A and B are shown apart, each in its own frame.
Chain A
Amino acid sequence: MKERHLQRRILADRLFRGLIIVLAFICMLPMFLILFFIIKNGISVINWGFLVSLPKPMGEAGGGISNALAGSAILVFIASLISIPFGILAGIYLSEYRKARFAYLSRLSVEILQGIPSIVIGIIAYIWIVLPMGSFSALSGGVALGIMMLPVIVMSTEETLKLIPDPLKEASLALGVPYPRTILKVILPAGLSGIGTGVILGIARIGGETAPLLFTAFGSPFMSLDIFKPVNSLPQLVFNYATSPYPEWHTLAWGASFVLVVFILSLNILAKMVTRKWKVQF
């Protein structure tokens, strides 16, 4: 009696373990499927011409993604300009003033900001920049992406700086180094790997965003480096082409997806390398 009951329990244990392993591996499937699809359909399109030529008009074969690449670069640049300095300073504030009541509210604000759906941020950028300016622009898109990148930078800076032991700051202060310099020249460099990782991951996050650009940067068939004009971007191009009825455009979309995914994967790998190489031991 007892023997069988025990056997049943052991069986249940083994089955459960097997189930967990199977389920976990099933989770890996979509990732490989997606990569497979992208590589299979996209790699044939990738060549130098693809990267440097402009998209062709409707239905025509060929064409490329050069304006989308340029546009994405501009948008990321603007977003970084806005979010990195501001984000690092705010991160320093949160880690230095841990106990202040305002710090609590600020931290809460960052967390809420991080959870705002990207399309809502697009509307905000529309209200704040597109409306007053009277037109779509790379600037508004960059601002939208900057707002999305900000929480990532703030939180990674705060986390990194929190890990730096206090005696380090004290040693610098005890040498007569004033507070601003202590923060900027001793504490920040010590936290560089964490902050750098945050920046890289922030860029990875916004590089693939489409929703906030739909009515800010808007997209364009032309190559444009003017930040006050609409601009195309890689994710928008994928969206437009993938949902179009033209098979030629679908192929281009696969190619563009390939480039986008390679970009994001590389950033993730870069982030891991930065942590490994630059991380400071205490």
Chain B
Amino acid sequence: MNPTDEVRTGKQRMPAPAQARSGALPAKETTRVRSGAAYGSRTVLSEPVFRRILYLSGISLLLLLSAVFVSLFIASVPAMKHHGFGFLIGMVWDPVAGKFGALPFLAGTLLTSFLALLISLVFSLAVSIFLGEYFRTGIMSSSIKTVVELLAGIPSVIYGFWGLFFFVPAVRWVELQIGVLPYGVGILTSALILSIMIIPYSASLGREVIGLVPGDLKEAAFSLGATRFEVIRKIILPYARSGILAGVLLSLGRALGETMAVTMVIGNSNMLPKSIFSPANTMASIIANEFSEATGKIYLASLTEIALVLFVVTAVINIAGKIIIIKMSVER
């Protein structure tokens, strides 16, 4: 008995699919399939139900975002009734006396963020060019890429902790040399730590856009006798300009909202900062410091109002960055 016989016999044991027009599934299934009801009754999850679920998940994202905004807004109402948004220019924050001037925190936020941005720009641009142009592949590339990714992965609280024990003494030493009050903590220290934390964001976007510069543009420049430095300066960077800007915006958004590291090294002072060496508070750090102990509706609502401002500002910056990226891809 050879294998084919076995197969043939096997076939005969089951009601075999008809020779000329095979269309029947093994007998047990046939009647159920033909009646058409089998399909619906076997599954709980029919297509319309599944699609409805998917659609609802999609809408829920939108709903979630709206709910966040609405909640923040409603919770801020008591404060808004009390002092409106004018509190953004009020210079004194003294909840006990009922004064909720948030200008010190606005100033603290802007100073730390922009200073951090400035410091980080040089480094993140260097990393972008390093990874996007000079070392696109190979071990140097993967090492730097990995390290930069890990930098982004280190929790904020650990940056703050390290900052307390490394940067603060260092800045204190510098302040002693300069003849400034050696707080050690303050805007400068926060900006320094913040700059390290935001490098990965602009660096990775920058690297991408620099790497996307078309090869033939660069070749044309090289063939005209330009050095690599010149090609980078005159061809690559201008071409990648918008992407780099988008990366910068992304970093800025991140810097504005960063809480823990800043809270730990900014010195927790509610006074308007006088210089970069002053201790201060940012919008995020004042919430972190005072929210859990805040008493009184207006106090809590004012802190929530600050959160609302933070929310709107970071959202706007994110959208701006997105628009730039979209405009970039449309232009291609």
Name A residues whose Cβ lies closer than 8 Å to a Cβ of B: 9-10, 12-13, 16-17, 19-21, 23-28, 30-31, 33-34, 37-38, 86, 89-90, 92-94, 96-97, 102-103, 105-106, 108-121, 123-124, 126-128, 147, 150, 154, 178-181, 183, 204-205, 207-211, 214-215, 218, 235, 238-239, 242-243, 253-254, 257, 260-261, 264-265, 268
A28 to B256, CA, bound (A): 23
Q: B86-139: which residues lie under 8 A (CB-CB) from chain A? A: 122-123, 126-127, 129-131, 134
20 contacts between A and B (CB under 8 A): A13-B229, A24-B130, A24-B144, A27-B151, A28-B147, A109-B62, A115-B317, A117-B314, A119-B284, A119-B310, A121-B68, A127-B75, A147-B64, A179-B47, A208-B154, A211-B288, A235-B157, A239-B160, A243-B264, A268-B150
Q: Are A210 and B156 in contact (CB under 8 A)?
A: yes
Q: Are A242 and B160 in contact (CB under 8 A)?
A: yes
User: Which of the residues B39, B45, B50, B314 comes within 8 Å of A115, measured between beta carbons?
Assistant: B314
Chain A interface SS verdict (over half): helix
What's the minimum C-beta distance from A109 to chain B, rounded to whole angstroms? 4
Name B residues whose Cβ lies closer than 8 Å to a Cβ of A: 39, 43, 45-47, 49-51, 53-55, 57-62, 64-65, 68, 71-72, 75, 122-123, 126-127, 129-131, 134, 143-144, 147-151, 153-162, 164-166, 196, 199, 203, 227-230, 232, 253-254, 256-260, 264, 284, 287-288, 291-292, 303-304, 307, 310-311, 314-315, 317-319, 322
Q: Are B123 and A238 in contact (CB under 8 A)?
A: no
Q: Which chain A residues lie closer than 8 Å to B60 at the CB level?
A: 86, 90
Q: Are B257 and A208 in contact (CB under 8 A)?
A: no
What's the minimum C-beta distance from B137 to chain A, rounded to whole angstroms? 15
Q: Are A116 and B311 in contact (CB under 8 A)?
A: yes
Q: Which chain A residues lie closer than 8 Å to B158 at the CB level?
A: 34, 38, 208, 238, 257, 260-261
A112 to B129, CA, bound (A): 28
What's the minimum C-beta distance from B66 to chain A, rounded to whole angstroms? 8
Chain B interface SS verdict (over half): helix
